[in-house]
Each structure stands twice: as structure tokens, then as C-alpha cells.
Structure 1
């Protein structure tokens, strides 16, 4: 059941998002207490909640609206990530949907400097001496793609999720054949991005994520001792076959 504090907090959160700009002052405690028909202690507790969400900051003049900070919100996601087959599948498909969906933005906003960093990250995968090093380089490669999109929310998400994403990227890095295949597919992604060809970029990404899904399904099946189906990835592959002439 929603408490009085939670109810007022949710109203103010919506109003802050819709009506206020960073630096604006909220009404003072007395005004808010009169508006909602509650005590000033209830308003103070509500302000503590809003401050914890980094929506406001306390000043001598009162509560001031802060610039939106996505880090705390996205950081909360990491506590729900585990090593279950479902989570591995969800993380892979989150990346597939996010990166492939951002392809049109990437071809519009990519810079030569970002392309250089992406190429270097791909080369670093081949030079890596451990699976962890390869995963770090792989993360930098995909982070570069996200940065090429110019979408600040997506960039923040990948930054905050860096540690778990690196962990999941280590899957398959112990097999040189899988790593070599990923590098080759990365190279096709780079070529399409450098050519600013959105269709080719989407196709190259699709092939890469399909390979990643196959590697992940094989690894999970061996770990679980039974066949593991990553249905979103497999369903996408079946749809492509159906659509093919």
C-alpha cells in the first residue's frame, strides 16, 4: 500500500520532470504542507526521498531541482543480474536490440576519432593474453559503437553496466576460433560504419549477435548439462529464413 510520503513523492517526481528545469526552486515546506494537507515533517521526509533519487539538492533557500542523473537509476539494474541462462539471454538481447536499433544514429554521428578507437579495440581483442583482457577490448569495441550513436542515455547505460557487461562478454573468449570469428565480424561492422551504410551495418550486427547467441547457447548447454534455448535469438534467425526468397 502506498504511504502518504510515497504518494507525495511520486506527484512531485512527475512535476519535476514535466514542469521544472535544473536550478528551479521547489515550493517551501510550508507551502507543500498546506497544498497536500500534511505536516511539515511529512514534507521533510518526502524531500529526503527526492534527494536520495538525486532529483533535488538542499540549499539555504530550499530544495533546488538538479540536473537529471541517470547513473543511480541504471546502477540499480545491476543488482538483478545473475548467471542464470535467462539473464545471459536477456543481456545479449538487450545489447542486440540497443545496438542494432541505434545503427541509423551511428552512421549519422560517427566520427573518424571514434572509428579509430573502435578499430584499435578490435585489434586489442586479438592481442589479448587472457579472456578478461579480450572481454575488456570487446567492451571497448561495443562502447565505441554506442558512443557513435551520440545518444546520451544509451551511453550512460553502457557506462554504468560496464562491469556486468564485461563479465558476460568473457563467455566464449577462451576459444580462439570464436574470438577470431568475432574479430572478423567486428571488421565488417567497422567497414559498414565507415561507409555510413545503415543497412549493411544492421546486417553485419545481426550476423555478429547471431554468432554470439550460438556461442552463448553452446556454453550454457555445457554448463547446465542440458540443451539451453535462447529463443529470442533463435526466433530472429528463423524469421530471416522465412523471409528469405
Structure 2
């Protein structure tokens, strides 16, 4: 939903909504890297929205979304009337699991290896335990993904589909475990949802997983989820052993034509 405080459209955002989402990701990544590396010191005030918009060649709407993201992840603190300041990354609020994972520079291969045992177990339990309403929530997420207009939106709905399955597994620990790698999964999904090879007919995707869950076929659901996740091992090529951060940043820049 659009905020009532949203500014009028900026001509620099002209074009598809997909480009706007990619530009937001691109700028957020640059600022995140600068903050996590210490290039922007703790307590330093960020430039104003207007200055950042000029620096990155984006609208203030895009910059505002970037700042919301940085605040949500604990990288900055916003002081009303004063501006945005780099937060202390040693604080418990800022040092979440996502930050801990990123210090180890995980690769695509490593993320897939972690997801397979976790999500195969989750989907097996969800197939046994999901209510009709929870199965409908999975189907709704899949439908939103198929109707999504751009790669960022598709990635968000892709993540929502997997979370809907986790919500239905009846084990909050497993759902929290999956949620803790949600940021890393999103980066993989940005690439997979814009790869023509992965979209080819016959490739195991959500509909096959969903059909198995609807049929309450545990073994088939587990098999389909395993096939779906293992697909990246065959399709990512040289990106398979590249750090997720670097892979996603390069891919976003490619999609932006940079």
C-alpha cells in the first residue's frame, strides 16, 4: 500500500516498476556494504534524502524505501528531525542471524545444501498437518508469484510461498530457522526468477510441490521439494561457488544494464 506521505512520481523512476525495485536493491546493497565494512563509521550521519537521491541518480521515493530497509535491519537509526545515523553493529538488535551468516560469506552452493534438509523436512510435516486454510495460503502465494510483474516482486512472493509451507508445518522452531536465512534466500530468488533456463517446461517448481501437498502425499511432496531446491546445483554454473552478496549484486547490475 502506498504511504500517504509518498512523494509524487519522479521522472528518474520512469519505466517499469521492476526497475524501481531493482534500483532500490542496488542502492541498499551499496549502503549495506559500506556500513558493514566500516566505511561509514558508527554514529555518522547519512546524507539527506535529497543528497542521496542526487548521489545515486534515484528518486526520493526510492531512497526513502532504502532507508526503511536499513532501519528495519538495524543498520541505521532514524532520529526525528535530525536524520539517519549509522547504528552500532555490536548491539544485539543489529547482530541478527543474517548478519552472522554474512560474516562467513556463504555461497549459493552452501545455501542450497542448508535448504534441502531443512525444507524437505518442513514440507513433509506441512503435507501431514496443514489445514485447508493453510493450503489455500500456499496456493495464493503461488498465484501472486505467477502474476508478479517484475523480478523483485516475484522473489518476494517466492519467499512467501516457502514461508507459507513453513507456517503449516506445525513447528515454530523450523519456521524460525527458515526465516533466519530468508534474506539469503531472497538473493538467490532474484536470480532464479529471472533465469530463462529455470523457467523452462518440465522444471520442478511450486505447482508440483503444491499439488503433492494438496494430495496429502508426503513422499511426493518431499521429492518435489528436493528436486526444486537441487535445481540450482545444475543451473547456477560459475555462480554456484560465488558469495551470495556478490552474485546478487552482479545480477542486479546486469538487469539494470550497468
Q: Secondary structure at the match of 2:107?
A: helix
Q: Which structure 2 segments of 5+ residues have no match?
A: 1-91, 244-258
The yes-or-no answer on 1:101 pairing with 2:121 is yes
Deviation at residue 177 of structure 1 after TM alignment:
4.6
Q: TM-score, normalised by structure 1?
A: 0.53
Larger Rg: 1
Q: How many residues align?
A: 152
Pick from 103, 108, 115: which aligns with 2:135? Answer: 115
Q: Which has the higher helix share?
A: 1
Q: Give the whole-Å Cα distance in 2 for the aligned partners of 1:122 and 1:183.
A: 16
Higher relative contact order (CA 8 A, sep 6+): 2
1:67-120 deviation line (CA, Å, top 9, x unaligned): xxxx97x92353332795x52212122111101123331122111112112112
Provide runs of 4+ in structure 1 moved above 4 Å. Answer: 180-184, 221-224
Q: TM-score, normalised by structure 2?
A: 0.50
Change (3 A) 1:115 1:219: farther
Cross-structure match for 1:62: none
Pick from 96, 100, 104: which aligns with 1:79? Answer: 100
Deviation at residue 201 of structure 1 after TM alignment:
0.9
Q: Which structure 1 segments of 5+ residues have no match?
A: 1-70, 225-245
Pick from 76, 91, 99: which aligns with 2:111? Answer: 91
Q: Give the whole-Å Cα distance in 2 for the aligned partners of 1:138 and 1:180.
A: 17
Q: Give the whole-Å Cα distance in 1 for the aligned partners of 2:102 and 2:115.
A: 14
Q: Give the whole-Å Cα distance in 1 for the aligned partners of 2:213 and 2:147.
A: 23
Does structure 2 retain, via aligned residues, the 8 Å contact 1:81–1:87? no
Q: Give the whole-Å Cα distance in 1 for the aligned partners of 2:144 and 2:104.
A: 26
Instruction: Quote the RMSD (CA, aligned, Å).
Output: 3.2
Q: Give the whole-Å Cα distance in 1 for the aligned partners of 2:242 and 2:127.
A: 38
